[in-house]
């Protein structure tokens, strides 16, 4: 936790400089090779990026959500693949343990997640359970002091790199919905756990997803998160509330980068005898982008502050995630448009961002799921207090 | 051995400098400020000497407005042990800074002062030399390599046309050149720890130094706009122009 402006500015300036001097120059190489160079990963570890949100007593920095989103605004100024690599350790890969883990689980895993020695991954989605996550079919059957897991998880971020997985599985087959689901910590070298080959994706090369398959995978009972069955779906939803604000913050950062690239291009590119930035139709695209970025930034900061204050931010997180990621899509489209023919060419990099940001509107709950979350919150409130 | 490292708060090297409309100076309102890059190299070198067991303590010192405290925090986040702020709102010129540093040196008794060779704002390249003269200490400027052995200092300097190696007794003043080292990024946990490190605040009056400016700035101007280039059709044409027009070959 920072909580003083001087230290926070120094921290954000350091991240901004790391992004500018180390990550931006490596963007094209990461996209070409689908791999983040080892020396950059080592530098991210040394900087402490993997431990941003892990409590200080477990070796992290214990940043508040308000502080964390400001780091992501800065990290957004480069390819999202970099944030994705350490981001699961700060977010969905560690938070189930941080929020609902037992003291033993925290002591065992959090220090290694904070240092980046261990990569954490979050396994909820299945081939038949995406948006309808509560219908998941992976089972966990108690046998003595173990649970036996069977099932397949799909599109699992950082699975090829992960050392531990937070896995949501059904412990009570009689309960079809959310109540029958429990969350487990599964170590990578557990017999019966298989990670598939990395998926071939539209964008975000350098960040990897893969299937994770469990075949009679025996997990010690002490790895049931929180030590209580039937809490797994609630844990997952709490993790996702936080994750949605983080994705919204990243979308704001990347939108800022794309606008900056488009602005620079518009000021340099001349047509009809003057820079295209002087034409009002181009100006409209720049202005609309800036205004929307500002709105999304304010939403993200407000949602983060409310979460820090202990409020239930289910509604605000969904609003911020939906608006910021849809905004990011519009800014990406305008940034390509401002670049004209050059925007369609790989050389300028903007088409890469255009593909990278398409994912923001899909993962951590699609825009349509956010709409349902928002509407349900409204209707529930109307029924309670209306 | 204690090492003293002077650090200056300057306009960040990424900022495009704007001159005030009345030509009285550079506009610094709402402009990002950072540590002078040559001073970062000086801090890095001092920390490396501490890590190598040569130095026991690294003290950063900054002279100027209250916000110079941020520059000291940046030095402490990199690894300096503590900071000294000589606080004043008076515009400081190199001689005044050298006198302030001399007073701090007499108070702190360091075995070595490592300073940046110049600051990227005024490019004066004077403070380190003036400090050495005021102290009566040996100096090695534009250092590209520093070795400390048995109380002696061996410094390789970048000079026109090559490298010069000097041997100096301690205590001494070194100023850093660009290629001495590549400064580290402060780690985020060390940035958090830096806020707990102590900063002493002094004033020029308490140090008995008169910092009144001796020089008056008459005018500050933007550099002339770059003129458009010329496209040449062939290598032969280029050589012809270089030889007969530019007269450089």
Min Cα separation A14/chain B (Å):
7
Query: Is the model's pLDDT at A177 over the cut of 90?
Result: no
Outline where B117-187 has alpha helix (H): 127-135
Spans of all domains in chain A: 5-115, 120-230, 234-385
Architecture in CATH for domain A120-230:
Beta Barrel (2.40)
Answer whether A120-230 and A234-385 agree in fold: no
**Chain A: residue whose CA lies nearest to B35:** A10
How large is the average pLDDT for residues A336-346? 96
Cross-chain residue pair A10–B191, CB shorter than 8 Å: yes
In which domain, by residue range, is B64 found? 2-224
**Chain B: residue whose CA lies nearest to A45:** B187
Q: What's the pLDDT score for residue A4?
A: 87
Residue in A23, A253, A219 with CA at minimum distance from that of residue A139:
A219
How large is the average pLDDT for residues A359-379? 95
User: Which of B73, B185, B188 is opposite residue A6, by nearest beta carbon?
Assistant: B73
Report the domain count for chain B.
1
Name chain A contacts of B69, Cβ cutoff 8 Å. 6
Cross-chain residue pair A7–B34, CB shorter than 8 Å: no
Q: What is residue A276's DSSP assignment?
A: G
For the question of residue A326 being annotated catalytic, the response is no
Residue B170 token pair: 């301690």
Please report, to the nearest 10 degrees, the dihedral formed by the alpha carbons of residues A102, A104, A110, A112 taken in order: -160
In-domain check, residue B129 = yes
Q: What is the pLDDT of residues A294-307, one digit of tens each?
A: 999 999 999 999 99
Cα separation of A90 and A83, whole Å?
10
> What pTM did the predictor assign?
0.89
Say which CATH superfamily domain A234-385 falls into. Answer: Butyryl-CoA Dehydrogenase, subunit A, domain 3 (1.20.140.10)
Name chain B contacts of A51, Cβ cutoff 8 Å. 189
Cross-chain residue pair A46–B192, CB shorter than 8 Å: no
In-domain check, residue B235 = no
How large is the average pLDDT for residues A21-31? 96
In-domain check, residue B239 = no
**Chain B: residue whose CA lies nearest to A21:** B185
Measured N-to-C along each axis, helices A5-18 and B68-78 cross at an angle, to the nearest 10 degrees, of 60
In-domain check, residue B44 = yes
User: Which of A7, A9, A47 is opposite residue B185, by nearest beta carbon?
Assistant: A47
Please answer whether residues A100 and A183 qualify as being in contact, where contact means their C-beta atoms are separated by less than 8 angstroms.
yes
List residues of chain A with CB under 8 Å from any CB of chain B.
2, 4, 6-7, 9-11, 13-15, 17-18, 20, 43, 46-49, 51-52, 61
In-domain check, residue B234 = no
**CATH code assigned at B20:** 3.40.50.620
User: Which of A4, A18, A51 is opposite residue B185, by nearest beta carbon?
Assistant: A18
User: Which of B34, B70, B188 is opposite residue A48, by nearest beta carbon?
Assistant: B188
In-domain check, residue B240 = no
In-domain check, residue B25 = yes
Phi, psi of A287 (to 5 degrees): -65, -45
Task: Give SS3 for B123.
Answer: coil
A5-115 has which fold?
Butyryl-Coa Dehydrogenase, subunit A; domain 1 (1.10.540)
Cα separation of A109 and A103, whole Å?
10
Q: What's the pLDDT score for residue B13?
A: 92
Q: Which of the residues A7, A22, A57 would you substitute to probe the B interface, choosing the one with the greatest number of B C-beta atoms within 10 Å? A: A7
Render A163-217 in DSSP notation, one character per residue.
SEEEEEEES-TT--SGGGEEEEEEETTSTTEEE-PPPP-SS-TTS-EEEEEEEEE
Residue A21 token pair: 């001097």
Q: What is the pLDDT of residues B185-219, one digit of tens each?
A: 999 999 999 999 999 999 999 999 999 999 999 99
Name chain B contacts of A20, Cβ cutoff 8 Å. 14
Query: Is the model's pLDDT at B115 over the cut of 90?
Result: yes
Percent of chain A predicted with pLDDT > 70: 99
């Amino acid at each position: 936790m920072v909580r003083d402006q001087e230290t926070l500015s120094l921290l954000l300036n350091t991240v901004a400089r790391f992004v500018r001097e180390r990550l931006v120059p490596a963007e094209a190489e990461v996209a070409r090779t689908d791999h983040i160079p080892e020396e950059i990963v080592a530098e991210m570890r040394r900087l402490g990026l993997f431990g941003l949100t892990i409590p200080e007593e477990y070796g992290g920095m214990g940043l508040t959500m308000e502080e964390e989103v400001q780091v992501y605004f800065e990290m957004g100024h480069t390819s999202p693949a970099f944030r994705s690599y350490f981001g699961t350790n700060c977010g969905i890969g560690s938070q189930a343990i941080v929020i609902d883990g037992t003291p033993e689980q925290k002591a065992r895993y959090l220090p290694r997640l904070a240092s980046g020695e261990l990569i954490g991954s979050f396994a909820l989605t299945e081939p038949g359970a995406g948006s309808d996550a509560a219908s998941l079919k992976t089972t966990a059957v108690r046998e003595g002091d173990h649970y036996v897991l069977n099932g397949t998880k799909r599109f699992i971020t950082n699975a090829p790199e992960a050392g531990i997985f937070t896995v949501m599985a059904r412990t009570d087959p009689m309960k079809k919905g959310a109540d029958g689901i429990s969350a487990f910590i599964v170590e990578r070298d557990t017999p019966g756990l298989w990670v598939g080959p990395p998926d071939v994706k539209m964008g975000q090369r350098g960040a990897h997803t893969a299937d994770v398959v469990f075949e009679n995978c025996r997990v010690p009972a002490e790895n049931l998160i929180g030590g209580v069955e039937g809490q797994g779906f609630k844990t997952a939803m709490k993790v996702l509330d936080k994750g949605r604000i983080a994705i919204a913050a990243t979308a704001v950062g990347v939108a800022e980068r794309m606008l900056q690239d488009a602005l620079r291009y518009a000021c340099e590119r001349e047509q009809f005898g003057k820079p295209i930035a002087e034409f009002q139709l181009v100006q409209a695209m720049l202005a609309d982008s800036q205004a929307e970025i500002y709105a999304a930034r304010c939403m993200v900061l407000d949602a983060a502050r409310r979460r820090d204050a202990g409020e239930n931010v289910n509604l605000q997180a969904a609003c911020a995630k939906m608006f910021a990621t849809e905004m990011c899509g519009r800014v990406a489209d305008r940034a390509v448009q401002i670049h004209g023919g050059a925007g369609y060419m790989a050389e300028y990099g903007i088409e890469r961002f255009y593909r990278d940001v398409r994912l923001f509107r899909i993962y951590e709950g699609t825009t349509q799921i956010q709409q349902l979350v928002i509407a349900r919150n409204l209707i529930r409130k109307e029924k309670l207090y209306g | 051995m204690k090492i003293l490292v002077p650090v200056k708060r300057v306009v960040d090297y990424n900022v495009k400098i704007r001159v005030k409309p009345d030509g009285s100076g550079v506009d610094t309102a709402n402009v990002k400020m950072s540590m002078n890059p040559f001073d970062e190299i000086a801090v890095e070198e001092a920390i490396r000497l501490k890590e190598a067991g040569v130095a026991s303590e690294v003290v950063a010192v900054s002279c100027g407005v209250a916000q110079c405290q941020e520059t000291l925090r940046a030095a402490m986040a990199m690894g300096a042990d503590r900071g000294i702020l000589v606080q004043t709102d008076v515009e400081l010129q190199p001689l005044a800074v050298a006198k302030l540093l001399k007073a701090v040196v007499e108070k702190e008794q360091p075995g070595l002062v490592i300073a940046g060779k110049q600051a990227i704002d005024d490019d004066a390249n004077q403070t380190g030399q003036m400090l050495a003269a005021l102290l009566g200490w040996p100096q090695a400027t534009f250092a590209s390599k520093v070795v400390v052995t048995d109380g002696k200092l061996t410094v390789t300097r970048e000079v026109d046309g090559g490298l010069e190696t000097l041997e100096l007794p301690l205590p001494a003043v070194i100023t850093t050149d660009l290629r001495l080292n590549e400064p580290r990024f402060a780690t985020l946990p060390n940035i958090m720890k830096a806020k707990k490190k102590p900063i002493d605040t002094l004033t020029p009056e308490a140090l008995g130094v008169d910092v009144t400016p001796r020089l008056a700035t008459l005018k500050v101007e933007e550099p002339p706009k770059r003129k458009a280039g010329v496209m040449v059709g062939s290598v032969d044409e280029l050589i012809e122009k270089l030889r007969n027009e530019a007269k450089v070959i």
